[in-house]
Amino acid sequence: MLIDRENGAHADAVALIELDDAMDPVRYTFGALDAIADGVAATLAGRYDRGDRIAILAANSAHFVAAVLGIMRAGLVAVPINFRFPRALIEDVIEDSGARLVFCDAARIDHVPATLPGVVFDARGTAMLSEPPPANVVTFSAFVAGASPCNDTDAHGARFEAIEPEPREAALILYTSGSTGRPKGVVLSHESHRWVVRTRLQSQPLAGERLLIAAPLFHMNALALAFLALAACSTMVMLPQFNAANYIRAIDAWRCTWLTAVPPMIAMMMQERALLTQSDLSSLRFIRMGSAPVSAALLDQIHELLPNARIINAYGTTEGGPVVFGPHPRGLPTPTLSVGAAHPLVDLRLVDETGAEADEGELQLRSPGLMNGYHNRPGLPLPFTSDGYYRTGDVFQRDANGFYTFIGRRDDMFVSGGENIYPGDVERMLERHPLIEQACVVPVVDEIKGTKPVVFVKVKPGAALSADDVKRFALEQAPAYQHPRRVWFVDGFPLAATNKIDRAALKMAAIERLQDERRIEGA
């Protein structure tokens, strides 16, 4: 259930401060959020069968959180959907999930299929709706108004008695981004989420922290933190979606102590230099970086800006959960770019291309946090070994002290002239250059080598760098086959829906730039 109902002292504490795009706050106590979730659960339980899927298509909000809680309490399965998918893909995901109902916000109301009932969030009033909702959509307030929880009652009103889940009973389906094909619905159990929350709180209690959430709740990074904050009775400050300037303003205004973000979000925040100089960010004590590798240059910038904040370089996957690595068992300091040592409750191994265990290879893990499988994909082979390890597809190195460092996605690896190249390996090498802030390497077709690496580079403010400088540095620092054959300077990188660098978009951009170069040469 996540919210501690037995401790009445928390009922009147602030659980969530919801901010809109204008930074206007609405506060929700634990008691109020709990009651809204009960209203959702009671209404759903009276209309749908256990195990039915309920979709959520909306930006971050308190009602989003309450809807997820209510769906799970009623024994139904919550399906948060990436609202940044193209409309046709959103429709495909809703159909694939078999959703019986769609919760949405005002901006996404026209994405609700006419064949399904919908519920539009209206916490800030019906003024958010530009016109009356269609016949198949009702407001959230009307939806929960008819709820009649029939269980225990206390000073805070009627309570809905949440289901007691069966072992491995599904609680959530999170769809992957779909960057390499049709999105897959990852089925996650109540059991796995409970284990993740318990395990994370044992290693780092969050009582008294104020956590800022701006990453999308349709992604595991933000949703797992929201669950953690509720269980820890901490306060969440929530933005509808990431905006670098509002991110900084929220930290300053609400004295946030804990951030969870992907590296591009922090990199964009660092570009707001004028606002940073006017803001007080001294409240920050923890920054958890996950979902994508963090560069040494970005770490240096964060340390300079926030010298008192501890940076946690984290790793996790939707399929395998966020509990994978942790501190070294002997207390050894974690190397700068490492994600830590093996968590004591997780079985880890690295497997090379021959299938043998090694100090460099694909990470395989086994824990109670693993997914059940993929929804509605009977023909898709499950990424599990015969002994129950999840094959992550991520390649790591393990040093002599047992620290793991991410090398790259196995799917991102390409072969150039017979040599395996991991883009992350080359990017980390380039980002050691004192004038390079960030780099992204992608492959392009080459008649001789098969493929070859090219790179998009963002230099540090005020820096002057040439393509030859970058190539020369690469040849001095790494094997010749890794050096980028083309260097293009950019002011920023395109982001995918989860705020990670969109490599697919950069591959297309590289092809277009090479075609343009050939046209100019042939003119």
CATH number at residue 438: 3.30.300.30
Is 201 inside any structural domain? no
Q: Identify the pLDDT of residue 523.
A: 57
What are the backbone dihedrals phi and psi of residue 197, each rounded to the nearest 5 degrees, phi first? -65, -50
What pLDDT score was predicted for residue 156?
A: 42
pLDDT value for 349: 97
Domain count, the chain: 2
Domain membership of residue 374 (yes or no) is no
Q: Is residue 299 part of a domain?
A: no
Rounded-to-integer distance, Cα 141 and Cα 162, Å: 21
For 188-240, what is each residue's pLDDT tens digit? 999 999 999 999 999 888 888 999 999 899 988 899 999 999 999 999 999 99
Question: What are the phi and psi torsion angles at 302 (to 5°)?
Answer: -65, -45
For 459, the domain range is 414-522
Q: Look at residue 449 in the predicted model and tell me its pLDDT.
A: 78
Residue after which a domain boundary falls, among 149, 164, 179: 164
Q: What is the pLDDT of residue 498?
A: 67
Separation in Å, CA 388 to CA 135, 350, 371, 392, 393: 48, 14, 11, 12, 15
Domain assignment present for 286: no
* Helix runs in 5-162, H state only: 30-45, 62-73, 87-97, 140-145
Mode of pairing for the β-strands spanning 403-409 and 170-175: unpaired
Domain boundary among 164, 197, 220: 164
Q: Is residue 516 part of a domain?
A: yes
pTM: 0.83
The pLDDT of residue 271 is 84
Is residue 80 assigned to a domain?
yes
Phi, psi for residue 251 in degrees, rounded to 5:
-60, -45
Cα separation of 119 and 104, whole Å? 6
Q: What is the pLDDT of residue 351?
A: 95
Is 12 within the bounds of a domain?
A: no
Q: What is the 3-state secondary structure (H, E, C) of 198-213?
A: HHHHHHCCCCCCEEEE
What pLDDT does 6 receive? 62
The total of other beta-carbon atoms located within 10 Å of residue 21's CB is 11
Quote the pLDDT of residue 127.
Answer: 53
The last residue of one of the domains, among 164, 199, 218, is 164
- Sole residue written with tokens 């016109």: 131
pLDDT at 301: 82
Q: How far apart are CA 118 and CA 80, in angstroms?
A: 14
Within a domain: 344: no
pLDDT mean for each 10 residues of the chain (523 residues): 63 94 95 95 96 97 97 97 88 96 95 96 72 89 71 51 94 77 89 94 88 92 92 95 94 94 82 92 89 73 85 89 93 90 96 92 96 92 93 93 89 81 87 91 84 92 91 89 92 79 88 85 66
